Structure 1
Amino acid sequence: MKTIFFRSAALAALGLTLGLGSCDKKLDIEPFQSIDASTALSTEANVTSAVVGLYATIGGSNLYGTNLILTPELMAADGYINFQGTFANFRQLARRLTNSDNATAAQIWQSAYQSINQSNLIIDALPVVATPSLKSRYEGEARFIRAIMYFELVRLYANQYVAGANNSQPGVPISLVPVKTIQEASVLGSRASVEAVYTQIIADLTQAATLLPANNGTYASQFTAKALLARVYLQQGNFAAARTQANDVITGSGKTLSPTLQSVFTGRNTSETLLEIQQNDQNNAGTANEGLATLFSNIGQQGRGDIQVLTAFASQYEETDARGRSQLIYVGTGTNRPAGQLRSGKYTAFGQNIPIIRLAEMYLIRAETAFRAGDAVTALADVNRVRARSGATPLTAATLTLNTILRERQLELAFEGFRLHDLKRTGTNIVTATTPPVVVPITSNILVLPIPKRETDLNPNLVQNPGY
C-alpha cells in the first residue's frame, strides 16, 4: 500500500481535500484544505469538517462520480451497451483487453484507499468529540464509508465470494489503522482473503447500523447501512440475511418509491433514495472528460455520447414501460455521434445528484430472496410494485421465475453499476454480440481488475491477479 498512503501523506498526510459542494449548510462548516496531520483532527469541529469531506471523497470521478458505476457496466457490456469513446482505459474494459497499467483500475484503487484512510483517521480522532450523539454518528459514518469502499474493492479486484466455500482466495489489503506519517505510509501490506474482507465489511456495517440515527439528512443513516448489508449478503449468496435487511429497510425506513424512476435521477434526495452523491452545477464529477452525464449523455452540444445503449437491450422493455424508449432511453441528438443511436436518460445533467442506494433495489432483493425461500407471494408483489411504478405489465404467478426476477433487476437497475456483479453472483456467463457469439466464462480472469502495476512494483507482498 506504499504508493497509496504515501500519496495521502504527501498531500498534507491526510488526503483531506474537502469539497465545498458536499457541505451541509446547516452545519455551517468551512472545510479544511491541506491540513497538517499532527493537528488536523484535534477538535470536534475539525472532525465534523472531516466527516463532511469524507462524502466528497467518494463522489469524485474516480469513485461514484464515474468509475465505480461505469466500470462494472463496461466489463459486462455485450448485448447491453457499446463504448464508442476514445479513452483507452474504458475501451480496454469494454473489450476485455485490460492490463495492469489500466488507468481506471489504478484510480479506483488509489482513491478507495484514500477514503478508507480518511475513515480510519476519523475513527482514531473520536476521543476529541465531546458531544455523544455526534461521536456515535461520526463513527457510524466512517465505518459505513470504509465498508462500502472495501465492498467495491473486493468485488472488482478479487474473485467472487462462493457461498459455502472457505473463500481463501486473495482479496484486498485491510487497513484499520490511520496513516499519519510518511514512515507509517511505507509499511507494506498484503492481500487478506476474500472471507476476511467480507467479515470486516459486515462487522463495520453491523456496527454502523447501531451507531447511526434513523434519519441523517443526506448522509448515511442506520437504514443506509442496513440497505448496504442487504446488498453485501446478496452478493455472498446469504439470501436469508439479505432478505432480513431488505425487509427492515422497506418496513422501517419510511422510504417510498418515487412517482417515476426518472424523478429519482432528475430530483434531489427523493423519497426513494437511501444514499446519493450530492452534486451541483459548480461541484460535480466532471463536465468535459469525466462524469456520468459527460460520458452517457448525447443532447445537442452536451455530453460525449460515449455510451450507446444497444437495441437488443432496449427492446426488452415493453412499449408502456417508462424505463425504456418511452422515457428513460432516448435517441441521442448530439452532433458528435451518428444519428438514431440510443442513450440512457439516467444521467443527463452535469450537476444532478447520483443515486447510489435506493428503495427499488430493496424490493428486488426481497423479491429474489423470498422466491428462493419458496415465498412466491411476497416475490410477486415486490416485483410488481417496481414494475407498476413504470407502467410495465404486472407479472403473474405463472410467469414469475427466478430468471424473470433477475431480468427485472437488469431492467430497473440498468446503467447503475450492478451488471457485472449480478452476473458474477448468479454464475451467468457473458455472451458476446458477435457472429457467431462467443461465451466468456464469468469466472474468467479478465473479469477481475488488475492490482495496479505501480503498487505491485513497490510492494512485493502484494500478489497480482492471474492473467496480468
Structure 2
Amino acid sequence: MKHTFIRPAVLALALGLSLTGCKDPLDIAPQQGIDVSVALNTPEKVGGAVVGMYAKLDDPRLYGTDLILVPELIGPENYIRWDGTFTNYRQIATRSSFTSLNTTAAGIWQRAYEDINQANLVLSALPVVTNADLKAQYEGEARFVRGLLYFDLVRLYGQQYQPGTANAQLGVPITLAANTTVDQATVKLPRATVAQVYTQVINDLTIAMQKLPESNGTRATTYAAEALLARVYLQQSNFADARTAADDVITHSGKSLAGSVAAIFANRNGSETLFELQQNDQNNAGTSNDGLATYFASDGGVGRGDVRILPAFSTQYEDSDARGTDSLAASATRKLIYLGDGARPGRLRSIKYRTYGQNIPIIRLAEMYLIRAEADVRAGNTADALADVNRIRTRSGATPLTTVTLEDVLHERQLELAFEGFHIYDLKRTNAVIVPAAGTTPAVNANDPKLILPIPQHDINLNELLVQNPGF
C-alpha cells in the first residue's frame, strides 16, 4: 500500500518541470521518477527550480485561491457568506455534508506537499551551487516556502496550538527528504504532532532569516521570513517573541505603510508588502473557476460574485473609514467594500480582489504593527499599543482611539486584515465563539473539531498510518 501526499510531486517532475535537459519529458526513464543528480546538476537548474517553487505558490489550491479563501469560509457567520454553486466550498462554509471526500481539502493537501517536495529538491541540490551567497539565498528561499506551507497545513488540518501544553494533537506528516522516485515517494509517514510541526516551521524560518538577503527583488527576504515568524509566534500565543520579530521588521525592513489599503492591492510590490505573489493578465490563478477575483468580485464582467460581505460586518466600519462601504459600485466607490453590479448584483463585495492579474499580498507591514500592538497591550504597555493601532486607523480615516484594550486590537485586526485569510486563525487562537447569522448554523467554539479540514480520504485509504480527524 502507498500514501500519496508526495507522489504527485514526483509525477509532476517526471512530466517535465523543465528541470532536465530532455526534449521530451516522456523520454524520462523510469517515467514515474527522476534522478535529481541529472535534473538539478547545475546552479542554473537549481535556480530554475527555485523560481518554480515560487510559481507553485500561485496555484489555485494554494495562495492563488484556497489558502486565503478557505480560512475565510471556515468560520463565516456574521462576516461573509458563500453564495456560489460550487459544492466543495459550500460544504466548508456551511459545515453541511462536509466529508473526507471534499475536493478542496484534497487539493490543498496535494499541492502543498508538491511544493514542499520542490523545496526539498532545492535543498538536496545545494552542493552544486558554488557561489556561497547564491547558495545561502536558495537555502533561505526553500526553507521560507517550506515553513510557510507547513504552517498553513498544520493550522488547516490540525487543532490549534495550545500554549502551556504538550500539543500532542495530530498535525500533518513532515517530510524533509527530496522524493525523486516512486519508491521514495511511497514511504509511509504518520502525522506528526502539532508541536513537532511548529518546531519544524520555526526552525525553517529562523534559518531562512539568517540565509536570505535583505533585498531580493520580488522574492522572499530576511524580513519576509522574520515577519512570517512573528505570525507563527502570535498563533502560538508567544507574544514576547512575536513582538520582538514584528518590531525588528517595522524598525529595520525599510518598509512603510502605503497611503491606503486599496493602493496595496491595486499596485504591485509597494512600500508596505513584505511578500506578495506575482501575477499578471496572462499568468494567474484563474479567471472563471479559480482565482480570488473570480470569487470575490462582482464588477461588470469580472467575477462570479460568490463571496458576499454581510452588513453585520460592513457596518462595523465608521462612515469615515475607507475600509468600509458607501454602497456604491466599484467604478464609483472610494471605499474598500462596494455594491456589486456584475454577477449576483446588489450585494456587498471586497475591492481587495478586483482584477484577475493583480498581485496577491501575503505579508504586509500593517500586520506587524497589529502584532506589536497586541503584544504590548497584553503586557500592559497600552501607550505604545494605542499608537500602533491609531497608525492603522488614521491611514484609513477612522477616528483615532483615546484608549485601547485587547478587544480593540483584535477588532482592528479584523477590520484591517479582512478577507486576507486571517479570520478563523484569530478566532482559534483566542478561543472565540463564532456567532451565527440569523437563521444559520448554531454558535460553535472556534476550536470545534468541525472547523478543521479532513485528511483526504484517498490518502487515508492508501496509508494506514494516517489517522483521520474526528467527525470525518
Smaller-chain TM-score bracket = over 0.9
Q: Deviations over 1:78-128 (max 9, x none)?
A: 000110000011000110122101111001100110111010000000000
Partner of residue 418, structure 1:
422
The amino acid across from 2:35 in the alignment is A
Q: Deviations over 1:405-449 (max 9, x none)?
A: 100000000000000100000000111102498211222111010
The amino acid across from 1:74 in the alignment is L
Task: Map 1:19-34 onto structure 2 (within 5 A).
Answer: none
Q: Deviations over 1:37-67 (max 9, x none)?
A: 3411110000001101110011110100000
Does the C-alpha gap of structure 1 residues 280 and 462 become closer, same or farther in structure 2, counting only changes over 3 Å? same
Task: Map 1:81-96 onto structure 2 (within 5 A).
Answer: 81-96=80-95
Q: Is the 8 A contact 1:16 1:118 kept in 2?
A: no
Partner of residue 31, structure 2:
none
Secondary structure at 1:2's aligned position in 2?
coil
1:329 corresponds to 2:337: yes
The amino acid across from 1:127 in the alignment is P
Aligned CA-pair RMSD: 1.7
Q: Is the 8 A contact 1:13 1:181 kept in 2?
A: no
Secondary structure at 2:290's aligned position in 1?
coil
Partner Cα distance (2:369, 2:233) in 1 = 15
Partner of residue 449, structure 2:
445
Partner of residue 330, structure 2:
none
Task: Map 1:288-367 onto structure 2 (within 5 A).
Answer: 288-326=288-326, 327-334=335-342, 336-337=343-344, 339-367=345-373
Task: Map 1:29-428 onto structure 2 (within 5 A).
Answer: 36-38=34-36, 39-97=38-96, 98-326=98-326, 327-334=335-342, 336-337=343-344, 339-397=345-403, 400-428=404-432
Offset at 1:10? 2.1
Offset at 1:3? 1.4
Offset at 1:11? 2.4
The amino acid across from 2:424 in the alignment is L
Partner Cα distance (1:437, 1:257) in 2 = 38
Offset at 1:15? 7.8
The amino acid across from 2:336 in the alignment is L
Partner of residue 23, structure 1:
none
Q: Deviations over 1:181-228 (max 9, x none)?
A: 011111101011100000000001001000000111110000000000
Q: Is the 8 A contact 1:280 1:352 kept in 2?
A: yes
Q: Is the 8 A contact 2:275 2:364 kept in 1?
A: yes
The amino acid across from 2:435 in the alignment is V
Q: Is the 8 A contact 1:136 1:212 kept in 2?
A: yes
Offset at 1:9? 1.9
Partner Cα distance (1:432, 1:33) in 2 = 55
Does the C-alpha gap of structure 1 residues 74 and 402 become closer, same or farther in structure 2, counting only changes over 3 Å? same
Q: Is the 8 A contact 1:150 1:197 kept in 2?
A: yes
Q: What TM-score do you get using the length of structure 1 for normalisation?
A: 0.94
Q: Is the 8 A contact 1:158 1:170 kept in 2?
A: yes
Q: Is the 8 A contact 2:9 2:118 kept in 1?
A: no
Partner Cα distance (1:298, 1:436) in 2 = 24
Q: What TM-score do you get using the length of structure 2 for normalisation?
A: 0.93
Partner of residue 26, structure 1:
none
The amino acid across from 1:331 in the alignment is L
Q: Is the 8 A contact 1:63 1:111 kept in 2?
A: yes
Q: Is the 8 A contact 1:78 1:430 kept in 2?
A: yes
Partner Cα distance (1:37, 1:286) in 2 = 32
Partner Cα distance (1:453, 1:13) in 2 = 25
Does the C-alpha gap of structure 1 residues 76 and 301 become closer, same or farther in structure 2, counting only changes over 3 Å? same
Partner Cα distance (1:7, 1:346) in 2 = 33
Partner Cα distance (1:160, 1:72) in 2 = 13
Partner of residue 21, structure 1:
none
The amino acid across from 1:384 in the alignment is N
Partner of residue 4, structure 2:
3
Offset at 1:33? 9.5
The amino acid across from 1:403 in the alignment is E
Partner Cα distance (1:467, 1:244) in 2 = 39
Secondary structure at 1:446's aligned position in 2?
helix
Q: Which runs of 4+ in 1 moved over 4 A?
A: 32-36
Partner Cα distance (1:234, 1:250) in 2 = 16
The amino acid across from 1:186 in the alignment is T
Secondary structure at 1:295's aligned position in 2?
helix
Q: Which moved more, 1:433-442 or 1:94-103?
A: 433-442
1:466 corresponds to 2:459: no
Partner Cα distance (1:437, 1:407) in 2 = 23
The amino acid across from 1:238 in the alignment is N
Q: Is the 8 A contact 1:445 1:467 kept in 2?
A: yes
Q: Which moved more, 1:357-366 or 1:89-98?
A: 89-98
Offset at 1:302? 1.4
2:436 to 417, 428, 432: 432
Partner Cα distance (1:349, 1:141) in 2 = 28
